[in-house]
Amino acid sequence: MKALVTGGGGFLGGVIVRMLRERGDEVRSFSRGEHPDLEDMGVEQFQGDLADQDSVIKAASGCDLIFHVAAKAGIWGRYHDFYQTNVVGTENVLAACRNNSIDRLVYTSSPSVVFDGSDVAGADESLPYPDRYEAHYPATKALAEQLVLAANSPELAVTALRPHLIWGPGDNHLVPRIVARGRAGKLRRIGIRHKLVDTVYVDNAAKAHLLAADRLSPDSPAAGNCYFITNNEPLPLWEMVNRILAAAGVPPVTRSIPPKLAYAAGCFCEGLWSLLRLSGEPPMTRFVAHELSSAHWFNIEAAQRDFGYKPEISIEEGLALLRQSFLAGNR
Ligand SMILES: NC(=O)c1ccc[n+]([C@@H]2O[C@H](COP(=O)([O-])OP(=O)(O)OC[C@H]3O[C@@H](n4cnc5c(N)ncnc54)[C@H](OP(=O)(O)O)[C@@H]3O)[C@@H](O)[C@H]2O)c1
């Protein structure tokens, strides 16, 4: 099998690539930059931007399936930039499937596509999309997910996976942010109530992609559907944060601020950053304030039932691996 992985040099994409190579599949990666680690794994690299349809079509030529993992993540930035990568990029991946007669597409979505700021406790995939979003990332990921699911047909079987808060060695988003802010003493718990949150160890999220791809065909139950992917071990958010900090040798967060204050700070920072066109990300946004003060954990029975997903690495085991990676010099 020859697979195209968009964003194969990224955090999740890198682990999907490694797993595909370990079982002997041929892999090609598509992204803007060059990623030397991929070269070492024998992965063919095509460089280009997802927004450039010709580049994506060329990169998919000769492939049997696509894992569309690449996206623009983040809590701040111009809508246009998120739209170009996440929505136009996904349209181009669909065009690449059609132009190259590729009949399977696994799309990496996000549970944030159904997040409306309120508690989500044990929800399954029947949870609807909200009417409005507090950030461009979930808004554009939701548009992309809907495009993908609508493209399901006898010629192209598609499925969308929604891994929640991926973490592990090599993480370039969640873990480094928590650790940097924890080291600087800038982390505050939002609220004092123990709201449960799901996360997923990166190898489990990657394995879910391979399992879904292997079972995907026009007749399979996964075709045209989306799935929450988690470790199935919801924990109070701040306990999980403190366990990640402990793995990095950083003291736990003890101080807290009320959720309403965090939300007000988010509104203020967003206004300031927009007005003064400040660079970088604001320290707080409305989306982050809600994410950090609400429950969000999910029912993963559908993924278990339809393609045999089972989290193989527990949070405890994942944290031990994270600790080892910090000891080995990963900051
Ligand atoms: N991390 C999480 O907690 C989380 C949770 C839920 C869902 N997800 C989803 O999981 C996927 C992977 O996330 P990740 O955490 O692994 O992100 P990541 O490490 O930032 O990887 C994203 C990759 O996409 C590539 N990319 C970005 N923009 C591109 C563009 N315009 N054209 C071509 N390539 C582009 C980047 O490579 P170049 O810079 O070389 O282009 C990068 O390697 C995303 O779809 C994300 O929405 C992540």
Q: How confident is the model at residue 262 (pLDDT cuts 50, 70, 90)?
A: confident
Q: Are 26 and 8 in contact (CB under 8 A)?
A: no
Catalytic residue selected from 83, 107, 133, 137: 137
Mean pLDDT value of segment 263-268: 89
In a domain, 148, yes or no: yes
Q: Residues 158-195: pLDDT tens digits?
A: 999 999 999 999 999 889 989 998 999 888 888 867 89
Across the strands, what pairs with 120?
296
Q: Are 31 and 8 in contact (CB under 8 A)?
A: yes
What pLDDT is attached to residue 331?
Answer: 55
Q: Which of 223-227, 235-239, 286-290 has the highest mean pLDDT?
A: 223-227
Q: How confident is the model at residue 197 (pLDDT cuts 50, 70, 90)?
A: very high
In a domain, 208, yes or no: yes
Mean pLDDT value of segment 126-142: 96
Q: Are 38 and 13 in contact (CB under 8 A)?
A: no
In a domain, 257, yes or no: no
Those residues with Cβ within 8 angstroms of residue 264's Cβ, 6 or more apart along the chain or in another chain = none
Question: 132 is written with which tokens?
Answer: 């409005």
The reply to whether 137 belongs to the active site is yes
**Of 3, 90, 71, whose CA–CA distance to 43 is shortest?**
3
Across the strands, what pairs with 31?
47
Q: Are 292 and 258 in contact (CB under 8 A)?
A: no
What pLDDT is attached to residue 324?
Answer: 96
Cβ of 166 less than 6 Å from ligand 1? yes
Across the chain, mean pLDDT equals: 95
Residue 215, domain CATH: 3.40.50.720
Q: Residues 270-311: pLDDT tens digits?
A: 899 888 888 888 988 998 888 888 899 999 999 999 999 999
- In order of 4, 116, 142, the CA distances from 135 in angstroms are 29, 10, 11
Cβ of 71 less than 6 Å from ligand 1? yes
Q: How confident is the model at residue 49 (pLDDT cuts 50, 70, 90)?
A: very high
In a domain, 13, yes or no: yes
Task: Give the other-Cβ count within 10 Å of 102's Cβ.
Answer: 22
Residues 213, 154, 163, 266: what is their CA dihedral angle, to the nearest 10 degrees? 150
Pocket test for ligand 1, best of 4, 12, 57, 202 (most atoms within 8 A of CB): 12
What pLDDT is attached to residue 194?
Answer: 80
Domains contained in the chain, number: 1
For the question of whether the overall pTM of this predicted structure is more than 0.85, the answer is yes
**C-alpha 275 to ligand 1 mean position (Å):** 28
Question: 115 is written with which tokens?
Answer: 């997040």
In a domain, 79, yes or no: yes
Q: Which residue has the tokens 């954990």?
A: 297
Mean pLDDT value of segment 88-94: 98
Cβ of 70 less than 6 Å from ligand 1? yes
Instruction: Residue 76: give the domain boundaries.
Output: 2-167+199-233+298-313
Q: Are 179 and 245 in contact (CB under 8 A)?
A: yes
Pocket test for ligand 1, best of 110, 172, 227, 230 (most atoms within 8 A of CB): 110
**Of 229, 233, 199, 198, whose CA–CA distance to 212 is shortest?**
229
In a domain, 178, yes or no: no
In a domain, 121, yes or no: yes
Helix (H) / strand (E) containing 79: helix 79-82
Interatomic CA distance for residues 320 and 326, integer angstroms: 10
Q: How confident is the model at residue 330 (pLDDT cuts 50, 70, 90)?
A: low
In a domain, 277, yes or no: no
What pLDDT is attached to residue 143?
Answer: 98
Those residues with Cβ within 8 angstroms of residue 194's Cβ, 6 or more apart along the chain or in another chain = 236, 238, 239
